[in-house]
Chain A
Protein backbone atom coordinates (compact mmCIF):
# COMPACT_ATOMS: atom_id res chain seq x y z
CA UNK A 1 0.00 0.00 0.00
CA UNK A 2 1.63 3.23 -1.12
CA UNK A 3 0.93 6.44 0.73
CA UNK A 4 -0.90 9.18 -1.11
CA UNK A 5 1.51 11.87 0.00
CA UNK A 6 5.05 12.38 -1.15
CA UNK A 7 7.81 10.71 0.83
CA UNK A 8 10.33 13.50 1.50
CA UNK A 9 12.85 11.81 -0.80
CA UNK A 10 13.19 12.41 -4.54
CA UNK A 11 11.13 9.27 -5.22
CA UNK A 12 8.59 9.53 -8.06
CA UNK A 13 5.80 6.97 -8.21
CA UNK A 14 5.65 5.75 -11.82
CA UNK A 15 5.12 2.04 -11.26
CA UNK A 16 7.79 1.30 -13.88
CA UNK A 17 9.76 -1.93 -14.10
CA UNK A 18 12.77 -0.25 -12.51
CA UNK A 19 10.62 0.71 -9.55
CA UNK A 20 9.61 -2.93 -9.17
CA UNK A 21 13.24 -4.05 -8.94
CA UNK A 22 14.62 -5.00 -5.55
CA UNK A 23 16.40 -1.99 -3.97
CA UNK A 24 19.57 -4.03 -3.51
CA UNK A 25 19.69 -4.75 -7.24
CA UNK A 26 19.75 -1.03 -7.91
CA UNK A 27 22.30 -0.42 -5.16
CA UNK A 28 24.58 -3.08 -6.63
CA UNK A 29 24.28 -1.29 -9.94
CA UNK A 30 25.49 1.99 -8.39
CA UNK A 31 28.39 0.15 -6.81
CA UNK A 32 29.40 -1.54 -10.04
CA UNK A 33 29.10 1.76 -11.90
CA UNK A 34 31.34 3.50 -9.37
CA UNK A 35 34.01 0.82 -9.49
CA UNK A 36 33.94 0.62 -13.30
CA UNK A 37 34.09 4.37 -13.77
CA UNK A 38 36.89 5.06 -11.31
CA UNK A 39 38.96 1.88 -11.55
CA UNK A 40 38.00 0.14 -14.77
CA UNK A 41 37.28 1.32 -18.25
CA UNK A 42 38.01 4.80 -19.44
CA UNK A 43 37.86 6.55 -22.77
CA UNK A 44 35.38 8.45 -24.87
CA UNK A 45 33.72 5.44 -26.44
CA UNK A 46 32.90 3.75 -23.18
CA UNK A 47 31.65 6.99 -21.67
CA UNK A 48 29.30 7.65 -24.58
CA UNK A 49 28.07 4.04 -24.62
CA UNK A 50 27.48 4.10 -20.88
CA UNK A 51 25.60 7.40 -20.95
CA UNK A 52 23.45 6.16 -23.83
CA UNK A 53 22.56 2.86 -22.11
CA UNK A 54 21.72 4.67 -18.91
CA UNK A 55 19.62 7.23 -20.72
CA UNK A 56 17.57 4.37 -22.17
CA UNK A 57 17.11 2.77 -18.74
CA UNK A 58 16.18 6.10 -17.19
CA UNK A 59 13.71 6.78 -19.99
CA UNK A 60 12.06 3.38 -19.60
CA UNK A 61 11.80 4.09 -15.88
CA UNK A 62 9.86 7.22 -16.91
CA UNK A 63 12.09 9.60 -14.97
CA UNK A 64 14.09 10.98 -17.91
CA UNK A 65 12.92 14.56 -17.50
CA UNK A 66 13.58 14.64 -13.75
CA UNK A 67 16.97 12.99 -14.16
CA UNK A 68 18.14 15.57 -16.69
CA UNK A 69 16.73 18.37 -14.62
CA UNK A 70 18.56 17.22 -11.49
CA UNK A 71 21.75 16.41 -13.40
CA UNK A 72 21.71 19.94 -14.76
CA UNK A 73 21.09 21.44 -11.35
CA UNK A 74 24.07 19.56 -9.89
CA UNK A 75 26.48 19.56 -12.82
CA UNK A 76 26.01 23.09 -14.13
CA UNK A 77 27.68 24.93 -11.22
CA UNK A 78 30.46 22.33 -11.20
CA UNK A 79 30.97 22.81 -14.91
CA UNK A 80 31.00 26.60 -14.61
CA UNK A 81 33.70 26.47 -11.95
CA UNK A 82 35.72 23.53 -13.15
CA UNK A 83 36.21 24.34 -16.84
CA UNK A 84 37.74 27.79 -16.29
CA UNK A 85 39.67 26.93 -13.11
CA UNK A 86 41.34 23.86 -14.57
CA UNK A 87 41.46 25.28 -18.09
CA UNK A 88 43.46 28.26 -16.87
CA UNK A 89 45.13 27.07 -13.67
CA UNK A 90 45.60 23.26 -13.75
CA UNK A 91 49.23 22.74 -12.56
CA UNK A 92 50.08 20.27 -15.37
CA UNK A 93 48.97 22.69 -18.10
CA UNK A 94 51.38 22.78 -21.07
CA UNK A 95 49.61 22.76 -24.42
CA UNK A 96 48.06 26.12 -25.24
CA UNK A 97 44.64 25.92 -26.85
CA UNK A 98 43.60 29.54 -26.80
CA UNK A 99 45.35 32.72 -25.87
CA UNK A 100 43.26 35.86 -25.63
CA UNK A 101 43.01 38.95 -23.45
CA UNK A 102 46.03 37.85 -21.43
CA UNK A 103 44.31 34.60 -20.43
CA UNK A 104 45.58 31.23 -21.60
CA UNK A 105 43.37 28.16 -21.96
CA UNK A 106 45.30 24.88 -21.84
CA UNK A 107 44.43 21.46 -23.22
CA UNK A 108 45.53 19.35 -20.20
CA UNK A 109 43.32 21.24 -17.77
CA UNK A 110 40.36 21.10 -20.11
CA UNK A 111 40.72 17.35 -20.63
CA UNK A 112 41.12 16.81 -16.90
CA UNK A 113 37.97 18.84 -16.18
CA UNK A 114 35.90 17.07 -18.80
CA UNK A 115 37.07 13.61 -17.70
CA UNK A 116 36.21 14.37 -14.08
CA UNK A 117 32.84 15.78 -15.05
CA UNK A 118 31.91 12.83 -17.25
CA UNK A 119 32.88 10.29 -14.60
CA UNK A 120 30.80 12.16 -12.07
CA UNK A 121 27.86 12.29 -14.47
CA UNK A 122 27.94 8.52 -14.90
CA UNK A 123 27.91 7.78 -11.17
CA UNK A 124 25.28 10.45 -10.59
CA UNK A 125 23.04 8.94 -13.24
CA UNK A 126 23.14 5.51 -11.63
CA UNK A 127 22.50 7.07 -8.22
CA UNK A 128 19.61 9.17 -9.47
CA UNK A 129 18.08 6.09 -11.05
CA UNK A 130 18.06 4.50 -7.60
CA UNK A 131 16.77 7.56 -5.77
CA UNK A 132 14.02 8.38 -8.25
CA UNK A 133 12.67 4.85 -8.50
CA UNK A 134 12.99 3.53 -4.95
CA UNK A 135 10.23 4.12 -2.44
CA UNK A 136 11.95 4.60 0.93
CA UNK A 137 9.54 2.07 2.47
CA UNK A 138 10.87 -0.55 0.04
CA UNK A 139 14.43 0.24 1.06
CA UNK A 140 13.49 -0.02 4.73
CA UNK A 141 11.78 -3.36 4.14
CA UNK A 142 14.76 -4.68 2.18
CA UNK A 143 17.14 -3.63 4.95
CA UNK A 144 15.10 -5.21 7.71
CA UNK A 145 14.80 -8.43 5.70
CA UNK A 146 18.53 -8.52 5.13
CA UNK A 147 19.86 -7.98 8.63
CA UNK A 148 18.85 -9.48 11.92
CA UNK A 149 18.91 -6.07 13.59
CA UNK A 150 16.10 -3.65 12.78
CA UNK A 151 18.26 -0.70 13.82
CA UNK A 152 19.75 0.14 10.44
CA UNK A 153 16.33 0.18 8.77
CA UNK A 154 15.11 2.42 11.57
CA UNK A 155 18.05 4.79 11.25
CA UNK A 156 17.55 5.22 7.52
CA UNK A 157 13.77 5.44 7.63
CA UNK A 158 12.80 7.44 10.67
CA UNK A 159 14.67 10.68 9.83
CA UNK A 160 12.69 10.96 6.61
CA UNK A 161 9.41 10.88 8.50
CA UNK A 162 10.60 12.97 11.42
CA UNK A 163 11.76 15.76 9.12
CA UNK A 164 8.17 16.75 8.43
CA UNK A 165 7.50 17.14 12.16
CA UNK A 166 10.70 19.13 12.66
CA UNK A 167 9.83 21.65 9.97
CA UNK A 168 6.78 22.69 11.95
CA UNK A 169 8.86 23.14 15.06
CA UNK A 170 11.33 25.36 13.21
CA UNK A 171 8.54 27.62 12.06
CA UNK A 172 7.24 27.89 15.62
CA UNK A 173 10.68 28.74 16.97
CA UNK A 174 11.32 31.23 14.20
CA UNK A 175 8.11 33.14 14.78
CA UNK A 176 8.72 33.09 18.53
CA UNK A 177 12.23 34.46 18.09
CA UNK A 178 11.08 37.07 15.63
CA UNK A 179 8.45 38.21 18.11
CA UNK A 180 11.30 38.74 20.57
CA UNK A 181 13.11 40.82 17.99
CA UNK A 182 15.61 38.34 16.61
CA UNK A 183 17.46 39.22 13.46
CA UNK A 184 17.36 36.95 10.46
CA UNK A 185 18.67 39.82 8.40
CA UNK A 186 21.34 42.39 9.14
CA UNK A 187 25.10 42.02 9.38
CA UNK A 188 27.06 38.83 9.96
CA UNK A 189 27.71 39.41 13.67
CA UNK A 190 24.02 39.99 14.31
CA UNK A 191 23.00 36.92 12.38
CA UNK A 192 25.65 34.93 14.20
CA UNK A 193 24.21 35.99 17.53
CA UNK A 194 20.75 34.87 16.52
CA UNK A 195 22.08 31.40 15.78
CA UNK A 196 22.26 29.97 19.30
CA UNK A 197 18.76 31.01 20.46
CA UNK A 198 17.37 29.41 17.34
CA UNK A 199 19.33 26.14 17.39
CA UNK A 200 19.52 25.39 21.12
CA UNK A 201 15.79 25.09 21.94
CA UNK A 202 15.26 23.04 18.81
CA UNK A 203 18.00 20.56 19.58
CA UNK A 204 17.36 20.28 23.31
CA UNK A 205 13.63 19.78 22.71
CA UNK A 206 14.34 17.05 20.21
CA UNK A 207 16.78 15.24 22.49
CA UNK A 208 14.37 15.32 25.42
CA UNK A 209 11.88 13.50 23.19
CA UNK A 210 14.37 10.70 22.55
CA UNK A 211 13.44 9.08 25.84
CA UNK A 212 9.77 8.71 24.91
CA UNK A 213 10.61 7.46 21.45
CA UNK A 214 12.85 4.73 22.75
CA UNK A 215 10.18 3.63 25.23
CA UNK A 216 7.63 3.48 22.40
CA UNK A 217 9.99 1.37 20.29
CA UNK A 218 10.66 -1.07 23.11
CA UNK A 219 7.01 -1.58 24.04
CA UNK A 220 6.20 -2.15 20.38
CA UNK A 221 8.58 -5.04 20.17
CA UNK A 222 11.45 -3.33 18.34
CA UNK A 223 13.94 -5.46 20.26
CA UNK A 224 11.75 -8.57 20.19
CA UNK A 225 13.82 -11.66 19.52
CA UNK A 226 11.12 -13.59 17.68
CA UNK A 227 11.39 -13.91 13.90
CA UNK A 228 9.84 -10.85 12.28
CA UNK A 229 7.30 -10.75 9.49
CA UNK A 230 6.54 -7.95 7.09
CA UNK A 231 3.30 -6.50 5.82
CA UNK A 232 4.91 -5.02 2.76
CA UNK A 233 5.63 -7.43 -0.08
CA UNK A 234 8.95 -6.85 -1.80
CA UNK A 235 9.32 -8.47 -5.20
CA UNK A 236 12.56 -10.30 -5.84
CA UNK A 237 13.54 -13.09 -8.20
CA UNK A 238 16.29 -15.61 -8.82
CA UNK A 239 17.37 -13.64 -11.87
CA UNK A 240 17.76 -10.51 -9.76
CA UNK A 241 19.62 -12.36 -7.04
CA UNK A 242 21.94 -13.76 -9.68
CA UNK A 243 22.41 -10.36 -11.27
CA UNK A 244 23.29 -8.83 -7.90
CA UNK A 245 25.95 -11.44 -7.25
CA UNK A 246 27.30 -11.02 -10.75
CA UNK A 247 27.56 -7.25 -10.39
CA UNK A 248 29.24 -7.50 -6.99
CA UNK A 249 31.68 -10.15 -8.22
CA UNK A 250 32.56 -8.09 -11.29
CA UNK A 251 33.14 -5.07 -9.06
CA UNK A 252 35.34 -7.09 -6.72
CA UNK A 253 37.26 -8.53 -9.69
CA UNK A 254 38.00 -5.05 -11.03
CA UNK A 255 39.23 -3.88 -7.62
CA UNK A 256 41.40 -7.00 -7.28
CA UNK A 257 42.79 -6.58 -10.79
CA UNK A 258 43.66 -2.96 -9.98
CA UNK A 259 45.39 -3.90 -6.77
CA UNK A 260 47.54 -6.49 -8.54
CA UNK A 261 48.57 -4.45 -11.56
Chain B
Protein backbone atom coordinates (compact mmCIF):
# COMPACT_ATOMS: atom_id res chain seq x y z
CA UNK B 1 0.00 0.00 0.00
CA UNK B 2 1.35 3.40 -0.96
CA UNK B 3 2.22 5.85 1.78
CA UNK B 4 -0.33 8.47 0.72
CA UNK B 5 -3.10 5.89 0.64
CA UNK B 6 -2.08 4.58 4.04
CA UNK B 7 -2.12 8.15 5.27
CA UNK B 8 -5.60 8.78 3.92
CA UNK B 9 -6.92 5.63 5.53
CA UNK B 10 -5.39 6.64 8.85
CA UNK B 11 -7.00 10.09 8.82
CA UNK B 12 -10.71 9.58 8.26
CA UNK B 13 -13.16 12.02 9.83
CA UNK B 14 -13.67 9.49 12.61
CA UNK B 15 -9.94 9.47 13.32
CA UNK B 16 -9.84 13.26 13.35
CA UNK B 17 -12.75 13.35 15.80
CA UNK B 18 -11.02 10.70 17.93
CA UNK B 19 -7.78 12.67 17.99
CA UNK B 20 -9.60 15.79 19.08
CA UNK B 21 -11.25 13.91 21.96
CA UNK B 22 -7.92 12.28 22.83
CA UNK B 23 -6.28 15.69 23.20
CA UNK B 24 -9.00 16.68 25.64
CA UNK B 25 -8.56 13.37 27.49
CA UNK B 26 -4.81 14.02 27.84
CA UNK B 27 -5.40 17.41 29.39
CA UNK B 28 -8.27 16.35 31.63
CA UNK B 29 -6.58 13.14 32.81
CA UNK B 30 -3.44 15.11 33.58
CA UNK B 31 -5.43 17.51 35.72
CA UNK B 32 -7.37 14.74 37.49
CA UNK B 33 -4.20 12.88 38.40
CA UNK B 34 -2.49 15.98 39.70
CA UNK B 35 -5.55 16.41 41.92
CA UNK B 36 -5.00 12.92 43.34
CA UNK B 37 -1.37 13.87 43.99
CA UNK B 38 0.03 10.67 42.52
CA UNK B 39 3.63 10.30 41.37
CA UNK B 40 2.49 9.80 37.75
CA UNK B 41 1.19 12.20 35.09
CA UNK B 42 -1.11 10.15 32.84
CA UNK B 43 -1.12 13.11 30.47
CA UNK B 44 -0.37 10.93 27.46
CA UNK B 45 -3.15 8.36 27.87
CA UNK B 46 -5.12 9.87 24.98
CA UNK B 47 -2.02 9.92 22.79
CA UNK B 48 -1.31 6.25 23.47
CA UNK B 49 -4.96 5.37 22.80
CA UNK B 50 -4.85 7.06 19.41
CA UNK B 51 -1.60 5.22 18.69
CA UNK B 52 -3.41 1.94 19.39
CA UNK B 53 -6.64 2.77 17.58
CA UNK B 54 -5.41 4.77 14.61
CA UNK B 55 -1.71 4.13 14.11
CA UNK B 56 1.63 5.85 14.80
CA UNK B 57 1.08 8.91 12.59
CA UNK B 58 -2.22 9.82 14.21
CA UNK B 59 -0.76 9.07 17.64
CA UNK B 60 2.26 11.28 17.03
CA UNK B 61 0.16 14.17 15.78
CA UNK B 62 -2.14 13.86 18.79
CA UNK B 63 0.81 14.16 21.15
CA UNK B 64 2.31 17.10 19.29
CA UNK B 65 -0.95 19.03 19.24
CA UNK B 66 -1.74 18.25 22.87
CA UNK B 67 1.40 20.04 23.99
CA UNK B 68 0.88 22.94 21.60
CA UNK B 69 -2.63 23.44 22.99
CA UNK B 70 -1.33 23.03 26.50
CA UNK B 71 1.09 25.79 25.64
CA UNK B 72 -1.82 28.02 24.77
CA UNK B 73 -3.90 27.35 27.86
CA UNK B 74 -1.36 27.15 30.67
CA UNK B 75 2.24 27.88 29.80
CA UNK B 76 4.28 27.91 26.59
CA UNK B 77 6.88 25.68 28.28
CA UNK B 78 4.65 22.68 27.45
CA UNK B 79 4.97 23.50 23.76
CA UNK B 80 8.73 23.05 23.98
CA UNK B 81 8.15 19.41 24.90
CA UNK B 82 5.76 18.71 22.03
CA UNK B 83 8.31 16.57 20.15
CA UNK B 84 8.43 14.33 23.23
CA UNK B 85 4.67 13.86 23.22
CA UNK B 86 4.91 13.10 19.53
CA UNK B 87 7.51 10.40 20.13
CA UNK B 88 5.21 8.78 22.70
CA UNK B 89 2.36 8.56 20.18
CA UNK B 90 4.59 7.15 17.46
CA UNK B 91 6.10 4.60 19.85
CA UNK B 92 2.66 3.46 21.04
CA UNK B 93 1.45 3.15 17.46
CA UNK B 94 4.49 1.11 16.44
CA UNK B 95 4.19 -1.17 19.48
CA UNK B 96 0.56 -1.87 18.60
CA UNK B 97 1.43 -2.44 14.96
CA UNK B 98 3.91 -5.13 15.91
CA UNK B 99 1.50 -6.86 18.24
CA UNK B 100 2.91 -5.56 21.52
CA UNK B 101 -0.49 -4.60 22.91
CA UNK B 102 -2.23 -7.96 22.65
CA UNK B 103 -2.15 -8.86 26.34
CA UNK B 104 -1.70 -6.96 29.57
CA UNK B 105 1.87 -8.14 30.10
CA UNK B 106 2.84 -7.22 26.54
CA UNK B 107 1.33 -3.81 27.30
CA UNK B 108 3.78 -3.50 30.22
CA UNK B 109 6.67 -4.16 27.84
CA UNK B 110 5.25 -1.55 25.49
CA UNK B 111 5.15 0.88 28.41
CA UNK B 112 8.87 0.38 28.93
CA UNK B 113 9.54 0.87 25.20
CA UNK B 114 7.49 4.06 25.23
CA UNK B 115 9.51 5.29 28.22
CA UNK B 116 12.70 4.72 26.21
CA UNK B 117 11.38 6.67 23.20
CA UNK B 118 10.27 9.36 25.62
CA UNK B 119 13.76 9.65 27.11
CA UNK B 120 15.51 9.73 23.73
CA UNK B 121 13.59 12.83 22.69
CA UNK B 122 13.13 14.48 26.07
CA UNK B 123 16.78 14.42 27.16
CA UNK B 124 18.18 16.75 24.46
CA UNK B 125 15.34 19.25 24.94
CA UNK B 126 15.72 19.20 28.69
CA UNK B 127 19.45 19.53 28.37
CA UNK B 128 19.79 22.26 25.77
CA UNK B 129 16.73 24.37 26.51
CA UNK B 130 16.45 23.96 30.25
CA UNK B 131 19.98 23.14 31.35
CA UNK B 132 18.69 19.80 32.63
CA UNK B 133 16.36 21.40 35.20
CA UNK B 134 12.60 21.81 34.86
CA UNK B 135 11.63 23.25 38.23
CA UNK B 136 9.86 20.10 39.43
CA UNK B 137 10.43 17.35 41.98
CA UNK B 138 12.38 15.30 39.43
CA UNK B 139 15.19 17.85 39.73
CA UNK B 140 16.14 16.26 43.04
CA UNK B 141 17.10 13.08 41.19
CA UNK B 142 19.24 15.13 38.80
CA UNK B 143 21.02 16.94 41.61
CA UNK B 144 21.56 13.67 43.47
CA UNK B 145 23.16 12.12 40.38
CA UNK B 146 25.29 15.24 39.90
CA UNK B 147 26.39 15.10 43.51
CA UNK B 148 27.45 11.48 42.93
CA UNK B 149 29.80 12.84 40.28
CA UNK B 150 27.89 11.86 37.14
CA UNK B 151 28.00 14.23 34.15
CA UNK B 152 24.96 16.37 33.30
CA UNK B 153 23.91 14.22 30.31
CA UNK B 154 23.97 10.99 32.31
CA UNK B 155 22.13 12.57 35.22
CA UNK B 156 19.35 13.86 32.98
CA UNK B 157 19.00 10.50 31.22
CA UNK B 158 18.57 8.74 34.55
CA UNK B 159 16.12 11.39 35.78
CA UNK B 160 13.94 11.34 32.69
CA UNK B 161 13.82 7.56 32.44
CA UNK B 162 13.08 6.85 36.09
CA UNK B 163 10.49 9.59 36.52
CA UNK B 164 8.61 8.40 33.43
CA UNK B 165 8.88 4.63 33.66
CA UNK B 166 6.00 3.99 36.06
CA UNK B 167 3.85 6.60 34.34
CA UNK B 168 4.31 5.11 30.89
CA UNK B 169 3.70 1.55 32.08
CA UNK B 170 0.50 2.56 33.92
CA UNK B 171 -0.58 4.56 30.87
CA UNK B 172 0.03 1.65 28.51
CA UNK B 173 -1.88 -0.84 30.67
CA UNK B 174 -4.79 1.56 31.18
CA UNK B 175 -4.93 2.26 27.43
CA UNK B 176 -4.95 -1.46 26.71
CA UNK B 177 -7.83 -2.04 29.12
CA UNK B 178 -9.80 0.86 27.65
CA UNK B 179 -9.50 -0.49 24.10
CA UNK B 180 -10.60 -3.90 25.37
CA UNK B 181 -13.66 -2.33 27.00
CA UNK B 182 -14.79 -0.38 23.94
CA UNK B 183 -17.93 -1.62 22.18
CA UNK B 184 -17.33 -3.43 18.88
CA UNK B 185 -19.48 -0.85 17.14
CA UNK B 186 -16.83 1.77 17.87
CA UNK B 187 -13.66 -0.19 17.26
CA UNK B 188 -15.13 -1.45 14.00
CA UNK B 189 -14.92 2.06 12.60
CA UNK B 190 -11.35 2.76 13.61
CA UNK B 191 -8.61 1.77 11.21
CA UNK B 192 -6.09 0.08 13.49
CA UNK B 193 -8.13 -1.21 16.43
CA UNK B 194 -7.85 -4.77 15.16
CA UNK B 195 -4.20 -4.79 16.18
CA UNK B 196 -5.36 -4.89 19.78
CA UNK B 197 -8.84 -6.33 19.75
CA UNK B 198 -8.59 -9.48 17.66
CA UNK B 199 -6.07 -10.96 20.06
CA UNK B 200 -8.65 -11.91 22.67
| 1/0 contact string of B65-85 vs chain A (CB within 8 Å) | 110110111111101100000
Judge whether B38 is part of the interface by a CB distance below 8 angstroms. yes
Are B73 and A162 interface neighbours, CB within 8 A? no
Are A156 and B76 interface neighbours, CB within 8 A? no
Q: A9 CA to B71 CA in the complex, in Å?
A: 9
Are B17 and A210 interface neighbours, CB within 8 A? yes
Q: A213 CA to B17 CA in the complex, in Å?
A: 6
Of A49-57, A79-87, A244-252, the one with at least 4 CB within 8 A of chain B = A79-87
Q: A223 CA to B11 CA in the complex, in Å?
A: 12
Q: A160 CA to B14 CA in the complex, in Å?
A: 19
**Contact residue among B45, B133, B151 (Cβ-Cβ distance under 8 Å from A78):** B133
Are B27 and A163 interface neighbours, CB within 8 A? yes
Q: A149 CA to B125 CA in the complex, in Å?
A: 31
A10 in contact with B72 given A112-B131, A199-B32 (CB within 8 Å):
yes
A131 in contact with B77 given A162-B20, A203-B45, A214-B17 (CB within 8 Å):
no
Judge whether B42 is part of the interface by a CB distance below 8 angstroms. yes
**Contact residue among B29, B80, B131 (Cβ-Cβ distance under 8 Å from A113):** B131
* Contact residues in A for B24 (Cβ distance below 8 Å): 159, 162-163, 166, 206
Judge whether B21 is part of the interface by a CB distance below 8 angstroms. yes
Are B23 and A155 interface neighbours, CB within 8 A? yes
**Contact residue among B77, B133, B185 (Cβ-Cβ distance under 8 Å from A82):** B133
Give the dominant DSSP class at B's interface. helix
Chain B residues with a Cβ closer than 8 Å to the other chain, count: 66
Chain B: which residue is nearest A80 at the CB level?
B135
* Contact residues in B for A160 (Cβ distance below 8 Å): 69, 72-73
* Contact residues in A for B151 (Cβ distance below 8 Å): 91
Are B13 and A9 interface neighbours, CB within 8 A? no
Interface residues of B in 122-141 (CB under 8 A from A): 128-131, 133-136, 139
CB distance from A42 to the nearest CB of B (A): 13
Are A154 and B152 interface neighbours, CB within 8 A? no
* Contact residues in A for B32 (Cβ distance below 8 Å): 170, 198-199, 202
Judge whether A184 is part of the interface by a CB distance below 8 angstroms. yes
* Contact residues in A for B27 (Cβ distance below 8 Å): 159, 163
A204 in contact with B181 given A155-B16, A222-B13 (CB within 8 Å):
yes
* Contact residues in A for B181 (Cβ distance below 8 Å): 200, 204
Q: A154 CA to B21 CA in the complex, in Å?
A: 11
Judge whether A18 is part of the interface by a CB distance below 8 angstroms. no
Are A195 and B36 interface neighbours, CB within 8 A? yes
Using a CB–CB cutoff of 8 Å, the interface residues on chain A facing chain B are: 8-10, 38, 70, 73-74, 77-78, 80-82, 85-86, 89-91, 112-113, 116-117, 119-120, 123-124, 127-128, 131, 136, 151, 154-156, 158-160, 162-163, 166-167, 170, 184, 188, 191-192, 194-196, 198-200, 202-204, 206-211, 213-214, 217-218, 222-223
- Interchain residue pairs with CB less than 8 A apart (10): A82-B135, A90-B152, A159-B65, A163-B24, A202-B28, A204-B178, A207-B49, A210-B14, A211-B14, A218-B13
